[in-house]
Structure 1
Amino acid sequence: MRFTNFTNKAMKLINSPFKKSIIISVTIAALAFHTNPVALANNSKLSTANDSHKVKKTAKAIDHKAQAAAIVIDGKPVVYLDSKNTAQDVIKKLKLQYVNEDQLTAVEAKSTSEQPLGQNETRILDLHLSADAAIEEVKAEPDQILSLDQAVSFLQKGTLEETKYKVKQGDVLGTIASEHQLKITNLIALNPGLTENSVLQIDQELNVTVPKPFVEVVVEKEFNQQEEIPYQTEVKEDPNVANGESKVSQTGQAGLQSVTYHVIEQNGTAVKKDVTKQDIIKQPVNQIVVKGTKVIPSRGEGSFAWPAVGGYISSTMGYRWGKLHKGIDIARPSNPTIKAADNGVVVSAGWDNGGYGNKIVINHQNGYQTVYAHLSSIGVKTGQTVEKGSAIGVMGATGDATGVHLHFEVYKNGALQDPLSYIKK
């Protein structure tokens, strides 16, 4: 009878970390069969296989449990290592996922300082596992024994196997996460390089392993950091500013504070966070916005104000150069600001292709309209209500103009009027 399975098992054990012990066992088995141990180890045929008693005796010798160390969580062995020292290293490496070597040494030596924290300083107050953990020396099957890294991963995830998901047509991060009882943030954390904006590809593999740790690392710490204090916006009403208009009279400035937090984390996630100390370094400065409340009538008074700041009439209304000059020209003002001649609503404000250049037309809602042309810039927009004497633009020489001036026209019920019949300097 052939004992292929038997000898394969022997070879597997010989190649295990417990080679010396297994070789002794194989030798004993070989002697029981009066067989060369080397031949047995090399999967040779057994001439005395008809002896069932010897087969059972040999199987018992081969079924060898090795000396090991178990990490016991809440009274139950969870992982097996080759030695007590390796088991201790596993627990240490588990803790070092969340603190550095110096912090771990300090907290285990109970040598943390009680001095106030310095700027941007972190201090570990306590570090422990979320469940009772002990190390016990036991016997274990060789294939149960894990490496250091395998044991750390197993304690953190509850498994050594990662569950993979292949992206299908129509998949998005939200649906994939939901189907596997994960949050999008968890799914992203499980897949380095993945972001909320990532474009998923068909058949792309994603890790959707739901971690079920056997034990978590609890870190209690305090840390200090400087934080910006946002400024507040204060609104002040001004009856002298037109309703709907606003301006910043004081620019806001953020303040600065030093804040100390007391935090408890489990596996790197904060489960509690309290402010224990707060010092203002720089007070914030409020931003002040002036909001106008003055109601400007859209209907004109019926009388017109001079539309410029000073200046003189450089050309009157009438025929010149063979065609009608429809208004008056005002030049050389003391200030280039152009003003509304009366209350009204802006019906157009922009470029005119008929030679006027930048032009504004105001409807005074009482049958009158006024026109302001050749402006270098426009300060109002269509639909805006303007007050008599308010700035609406800047004098210029755009369009068909021989120099810087304001061309001003007046219309009554659609008929052109001589502006000099309505305004005086």
Structure 2
Amino acid sequence: MTWRNTIHTSKEESPNNLIHKSLKLLKRAAITTAALSAITFGSVYANDNTDLETVYHVYIGKEYFGAVTDKAAVEKAIEAKLDSEEEKFESIELELAEKLSIIPEQVFRAEGNNDSVIKQVTESVKAEAKAVSISFGGKPAVLVKDQQEAELALKKLKLKFVSEEELKELEEGTPDPAEDSKLLSVEISEQAQFEETKAAPGEILTADKAVDFLLKGTLEEKKYKVQEGDVLGSIAQKHELTSGKLLELNPGLNEDSLLQIDQEINVTAYKPLVQVTVEREQSAVEAIAYEKEVIEDSSLNKGDIKVKQEGQDGEKAITYLTKEENGIQVNRTVKEEKVTKEPVKYIVIKGTKVTPSRGSGSFVWPTNGGYVSSKVGQRWGHMHKGIDIARPDNLTIKSIDNGTVVSAGWDSGGYGNKVVIDHNNGYRSVYAHMSSISVSAGQTVSAGSSVGVMGQTGQSTGVHLHLEVYKNGSLVNPLTLY
């Protein structure tokens, strides 16, 4: 840093007049230009036998701080201050925000308050650095240290929303045809302008911090419509505000205010300083949902369903054009669509036949063949209330007539798995010792429909069906019904 210049005096004027005249001119220049370099007078003598001493008047810009006798001490203190500031900021070279002027004056007796002046100067001096301002639409947005850092910031701004590989392929025009997503463009909303300037070092950001600042943006006030379930606290949290700040933005509200649906509340939100628009072409294979067809069949009981054909999804190859702004998709259109696999329809047959719950009085045999192994009457000293049927062609047990299932489940009285059917015409039938049951209480059954499988649960000597029939509460021999 250069601190010295020299002004020579003229021999036609007296030394004292010349000194005062020069000092006045220099002070005026310092005040009007605020850009004086340090100046040193040459030695001036009052006469051939008298030596003059030198004092130095110190200015920062237009402000005068006083006189010192040691100019080097001032320079050293300023240099130390700049060095100290530079250590706080990586790769930033600092200089004084305002010019330091050290103006010499030769006097007969030099006096100065060195320590006090130097302390005031070092406390008052401010540093600045060369910087590059990045502007969008003519509005300065952020400061970085140089143009290289500015260009890096713009690249990193794009890389927030696309990959390095995508950006390289776009710039080189070499997209990978095998990729499902192809980058078509990535643009910053407004053209960036760079301008060299000077700024306080704390205002100068790295490329990464500049990107974060541009995307976060600045706070602006906006309106929010109250939705169902909203309270002041949830609205504040949703907009990154404290409840106190929300109340401050809405003077008409307090903590006990009752909010109304669609009521407008003042909130603040960050608005990005730039928008990065990304357009892509994306390919995908999507499922085509199969259709469902129901065919009614009057020969099937109502509630019965048979699957005639299993359904199967189809497939289609589809190409979308998408548009994103700062990572949020704002538009998607279909460019091309092609069916690659047709879906298979799901077809079911649904019964519509209404099963009457009232018995017809015409009874069907409860098993598929078989013989009566035991009849109604006394057996082993006890009354056998029904008939036992054994060795049928298969083990299916059928309802002897239309009716409603009264109960279906385990019986603790020795019947094992038991089903009771009310035929709603005075008759009631009981089926016992079943290995499994296929009906439930409250269900309507038709004559000949399955109610379970023959077994030997409960007190049974083998696999058989125990059938009991009652009419108006009185026991009836089932064999008299056929």
Q: So what's the TM-score if we normalise by structure 1?
A: 0.77
Residue type of the alignment partner of 2:282:
F
Within-5 A mapping of 1:137-176: 137-158=196-217
Q: What's the secondary structure of 1:420's corresponding residue?
A: helix
Q: Which range moved further: 239-248 or 218-227? A: 239-248
Aligned-residue offset at 1:318? 0.8
Q: Structure 1 residues 317, 147: CA separation in 2 closer, same or farther (over 3 Å shift)?
A: same
Alpha-carbon distance in 1 for matches of 2:158, 2:140: 19
Structure 1 residue 299 and structure 2 residue 362: aligned? no
Alpha-carbon distance in 2 for matches of 1:177, 1:260: 40
Within-5 A mapping of 1:100-249: 100-112=163-175, 118=178, 121-158=180-217, 178-182=235-239, 210-249=269-308
Structure 1 residue 321 and structure 2 residue 393: aligned? no
Deviations 1:221-274 (A, max 9, x none): 011111222222221111111112323332222222211111001112110011
Structure 1 residue 368 and structure 2 residue 443: aligned? no
Alpha-carbon distance in 2 for matches of 1:379, 1:214: 71
Within-5 A mapping of 1:63-82: 63-82=126-145
Q: Structure 1 residues 373, 21: CA separation in 2 closer, same or farther (over 3 Å shift)?
A: closer
Q: What's 2:441 paired with?
A: 382
Residue type of the alignment partner of 2:340:
I
Q: What's the secondary structure of 2:215's corresponding residue?
A: helix
User: Is the 1:156–1:211 contact (alpha carbons within 8 Å) kept by the matching residues of 2?
Assistant: no
Deviations 1:59-78 (A, max 9, x none): 99x44432111111111111
Q: Structure 1 residues 219, 243: CA separation in 2 closer, same or farther (over 3 Å shift)?
A: same
Q: What's the secondary structure of 1:374's corresponding residue?
A: strand
From 129, 146, 158, the equivalent of 1:95 is 158
Residue type of the alignment partner of 1:49:
V
User: Is the 1:13–1:19 contact (alpha carbons within 8 Å) kept by the matching residues of 2?
Assistant: no
* Higher RCO (Cα < 8 Å, 6 or more apart): 1
Q: Structure 1 residues 321, 85: CA separation in 2 closer, same or farther (over 3 Å shift)?
A: same
Aligned-residue offset at 1:325? 0.8
Deviations 1:37-95 (A, max 9, x none): xxxxxxxx84473999xx6xx899x4443211111111111110001111111111111
Q: Structure 1 residues 407, 86: CA separation in 2 closer, same or farther (over 3 Å shift)?
A: same
Please, what is the CA RMSD of the aligned residues?
3.3
Alpha-carbon distance in 2 for matches of 1:177, 1:222: 39
User: Is the 2:93–2:130 contact (alpha carbons within 8 Å) kept by the matching residues of 1?
Assistant: no
Aligned-residue offset at 1:310? 0.9
Aligned-residue offset at 1:98? 1.3
Residue type of the alignment partner of 2:452:
G
User: Is the 1:350–1:358 contact (alpha carbons within 8 Å) kept by the matching residues of 2?
Assistant: yes
Aligned-residue offset at 1:135? 2.3
Aligned-residue offset at 1:415? 0.4
Q: What's 1:277 paired with?
A: 336
Q: Structure 1 residues 50, 141: CA separation in 2 closer, same or farther (over 3 Å shift)?
A: closer
Deviations 1:109-142 (A, max 9, x none): 44558xxx65x61101111012332222222222
Unaligned ranges ≥5, structure 2: 1-64, 67-73, 106-112, 220-228, 241-266
Q: What's the secondary structure of 1:308's corresponding residue?
A: coil
Q: Structure 1 residues 210, 403: CA separation in 2 closer, same or farther (over 3 Å shift)?
A: farther
Aligned-residue offset at 1:324? 0.8
Q: What's 2:370 paired with?
A: 311
User: Is the 2:405–2:422 contact (alpha carbons within 8 Å) kept by the matching residues of 1?
Assistant: yes
Residue type of the alignment partner of 1:94:
L
Q: What's the secondary structure of 2:373's corresponding residue?
A: strand
Q: Structure 1 residues 139, 227: CA separation in 2 closer, same or farther (over 3 Å shift)?
A: same
Q: What's the secondary structure of 1:49's corresponding residue?
A: helix
Alpha-carbon distance in 2 for matches of 1:313, 1:50: 127
Q: What's 2:59 paired with?
A: none
Alpha-carbon distance in 2 for matches of 1:285, 1:182: 49
Structure 1 residue 49 and structure 2 residue 49: aligned? no
Alpha-carbon distance in 1 for matches of 2:104, 2:90: 26
Aligned-residue offset at 1:173? 11
From 85, 89, 113, the equivalent of 1:13 is 85
Residue type of the alignment partner of 2:117:
A
Structure 1 residue 252 and structure 2 residue 311: aligned? yes
Alpha-carbon distance in 2 for matches of 1:310, 1:122: 70
Q: Which has the larger radius of gyration?
A: 2
Q: What's 2:395 paired with?
A: 336
Q: How many residues align?
A: 364
Q: Structure 1 residues 356, 48: CA separation in 2 closer, same or farther (over 3 Å shift)?
A: closer
Aligned-residue offset at 1:32? 5.8
User: Is the 2:372–2:389 contact (alpha carbons within 8 Å) kept by the matching residues of 1?
Assistant: yes
Aligned-residue offset at 1:176? 5.6
Q: Structure 1 residues 174, 111: CA separation in 2 closer, same or farther (over 3 Å shift)?
A: farther
Alpha-carbon distance in 1 for matches of 2:153, 2:413: 86
Q: What's the secondary structure of 1:347's corresponding residue?
A: strand
Structure 1 residue 85 and structure 2 residue 157: aligned? no
User: Is the 2:300–2:350 contact (alpha carbons within 8 Å) kept by the matching residues of 1?
Assistant: yes
Aligned-residue offset at 1:210? 4.7
Q: Structure 1 residues 405, 93: CA separation in 2 closer, same or farther (over 3 Å shift)?
A: same
Q: Structure 1 residues 362, 175: CA separation in 2 closer, same or farther (over 3 Å shift)?
A: farther
Alpha-carbon distance in 2 for matches of 1:214, 1:319: 101
Alpha-carbon distance in 2 for matches of 1:80, 1:297: 87
Q: So what's the TM-score if we normalise by structure 2?
A: 0.68
User: Is the 1:348–1:362 contact (alpha carbons within 8 Å) kept by the matching residues of 2?
Assistant: yes
Within-5 A mapping of 1:346-425: 346-423=405-482
Aligned-residue offset at 1:20? 5.2
Alpha-carbon distance in 1 for matches of 2:458, 2:370: 20
